[in-house]
């Protein structure tokens, strides 16, 4: 034994044998056991081990599964983009109506994003006698004043000639034609709730209107048939949006561009429908505010119409005057408390300011002294 140990060659063989017993992997190349999509790297203890590559998950020896970044990370491509998973990675592409500010296939970590394409840059997009309106990711068309489309106030071009001269340009001068148009408008909205109806009227009146359409949509807003129902039934979270739609709808009727159509209506009818519009705006705003279950404030500036709304919970009326300054006009209201303690209804105050409507309401025999534009 002494001779065996004294031999250097024998000592080397003994050391190798002991090492193989204590660490069987030291003479086995562990890197050969790494799965596809794995790499062999040194661990902290200076021993090699298998690790899955980026974009894969597993232990490196038994499996390396592809990570589906499109499913695992919410919104990984950002807004207006689609995500496509690839083996070990992913890429993003913009949805229709948007274009990348960089490469067509991209990842958002390089600052690339999708931006809206202005389809209306093409002057002939909507065809003759039409106007193009760019929207987020798309576009929509409307006819110029004096023209109409069979598809309605808003349309997408079909054959490139959607707008034609309006055959009902004088419909407002014929009571039978007015009645037919009003009835048709009411029928189209008979099954809509108040929020749905105001949203639809806001959309339809955003285009240029003829005199008979001014009349028919005001009738639709004021109709007791369409306005029936308790406004308190509407979810509170929808009240702000519904009131906003109401204010913008009224603004669509009286904005400066529509003045030329109002002046085609005879003065008495014009005053009647304008007054109906103003009363409807006040009545419906107060009715909708009854749906609030707690104190609330809302301000809507639509351009030619601005509104401020205050609603107070029962028995929590303001201790100080309620005031508003809108378009240079100011008003202050002081509370007066009721002795009736059983009243559990809320209190609402609405300020509505109409800019530039005075000229449409001035009397026909006005000598021109008063500035009705104010």
Give the model's pLDDT for residue 347.
82
CA separation for the pair 311, 290 (Å, rounded): 8
Give the model's pLDDT for residue 362.
78
CA 71 to chain centre: 25
Once rounded to an integer, what is the mean pLDDT over residues 282-294? 88
Residue ranges of domains in the chain, CATH in brackets: 2-66 (2.10.25.10), 69-116 (2.10.25.10), 168-361 (no CATH)
Residue 230 has pLDDT above 50, yes or no: no
- CA torsion angle for 245, 250, 252, 255 (degrees, to 10)? -140
Once rounded to an integer, what is the mean pLDDT over residues 122-146? 91
Residue 110 has pLDDT above 50, yes or no: yes
Rg, C-alpha atoms of the chain = 36
Residue 293 has pLDDT above 60, yes or no: yes
CA separation for the pair 283, 227 (Å, rounded): 11
Predicted TM-score (pTM) of this structure: 0.73
Residue 296 has pLDDT above 60, yes or no: yes
Confidence class for position 184, pLDDT limits 50, 70, 90: very high
Residue 139 has pLDDT above 50, yes or no: yes
In the block, which residue shows the tokens 């005199």? 211
Pairing of strands 296-301, 305-312: antiparallel
Closest CA to 239 of 195, 192, 294: 195
Residue 16 has pLDDT above 70, yes or no: no
Q: Is 213 exposed, middle or buried (0-12, 13-18, 19+ CB in 10 A)?
A: buried
b/e per residue 188-200 (b: at least 16 CB within 10 A):
ebeeeebbebbbb
Confidence class for position 147, pLDDT limits 50, 70, 90: very high
Give the model's pLDDT for residue 340.
67
Once rounded to an integer, what is the mean pLDDT over residues 229-241? 66
Concatenating the DSSP letter of every residue in 34-62 gives PPTTEEEEE-TTS-EEEEEPTTEES-SSS
- The answer to which of 30-34, 132-136, 269-273, 361-365 has the lowest mean pLDDT is 361-365
* 120 contact partners, CB below 8 Å, separation of at least 6: 132, 133, 134, 139
Confidence class for position 208, pLDDT limits 50, 70, 90: very high
Residue 115 has pLDDT above 80, yes or no: yes
Once rounded to an integer, what is the mean pLDDT over residues 81-85? 94
Percent of the chain with pLDDT over 70: 82
DSSP-based three-state secondary structure for 269:
helix
Please give the structure tokens belonging to residue 199. 């949203």
Residue 355 has pLDDT above 80, yes or no: yes
Residue 1 has pLDDT above 50, yes or no: no
* 357 contact partners, CB below 8 Å, separation of at least 6: 254, 274, 304
Pairing of strands 138-143, 130-135: antiparallel
Once rounded to an integer, what is the mean pLDDT over residues 335-340? 70
Please give the structure tokens belonging to residue 62. 């038994």
Closest CA to 250 of 287, 276, 288, 289: 276
Percent of the chain with pLDDT over 90: 40
Give the model's pLDDT for residue 58.
86
115, 101 contact by CB (below 8 A):
yes
Averaged pLDDT of the chain: 83
């Amino acid at each position: 034994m002494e001779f065996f140990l004294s031999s250097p060659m024998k000592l080397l063989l003994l050391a190798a044998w002991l090492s193989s017993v204590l660490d069987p992997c030291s003479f086995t190349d562990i890197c050969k056991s790494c799965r596809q999509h794995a790499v062999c790297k040194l661990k902290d203890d200076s021993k090699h081990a298998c690790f899955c590559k980026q974009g894969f998950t597993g232990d490196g020896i038994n499996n390396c599964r592809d990570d589906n970044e499109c499913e695992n990370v919410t919104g990984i491509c950002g807004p207006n983009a689609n995500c496509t998973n690839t083996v070990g990675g992913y890429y993003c592409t913009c949805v229709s109506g948007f274009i990348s500010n960089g490469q067509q296939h991209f990842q958002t970590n390089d600052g690339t994003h999708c931006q809206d394409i202005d389809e209306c840059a093409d002057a002939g997009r909507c065809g003759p006698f039409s106007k193009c309106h760019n929207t987020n990711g798309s576009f929509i068309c409307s006819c110029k004043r004096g023209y109409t489309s069979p598809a309605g106030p808003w349309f997408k071009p079909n054959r490139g000639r959607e707008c034609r001269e309006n055959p009902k340009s004088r419909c407002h001068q014929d009571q039978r034609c007015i009645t037919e148009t009003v009835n048709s408008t009411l029928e189209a909205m008979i099954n809509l709730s108040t929020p749905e109806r105001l949203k639809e009227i806001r959309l339809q009146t955003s285009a240029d209107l003829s005199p008979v359409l001014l009349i028919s949509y005001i009738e639709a807003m004021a109709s007791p048939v369409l306005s029936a129902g308790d406004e308190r039934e509407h979810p509170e979270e929808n009240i702000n949006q519904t009131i906003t739609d109401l204010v913008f709808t009224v603004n669509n009727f009286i904005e400066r561009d529509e003045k030329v159509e109002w002046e085609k209506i005879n003065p008495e009818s014009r005053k009647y429908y304008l007054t109906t519009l103003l009363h409807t705006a006040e009545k419906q705003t107060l009715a909708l505010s009854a749906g609030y279950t707690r104190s609330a404030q809302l301000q809507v500036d639509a351009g030619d119409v601005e509104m401020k709304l205050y609603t107070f919970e029962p028995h929590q009326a303001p201790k100080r005057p309620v005031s508003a300054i809108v378009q240079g006009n100011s008003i202050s209201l002081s509370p007066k408390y009721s002795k009736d303690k059983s009243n559990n209804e809320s209190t609402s105050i609405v300020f509505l300011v109409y800019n530039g409507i005075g000229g449409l309401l001035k009397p026909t025999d006005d000598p021109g002294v008063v500035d009705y534009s104010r």
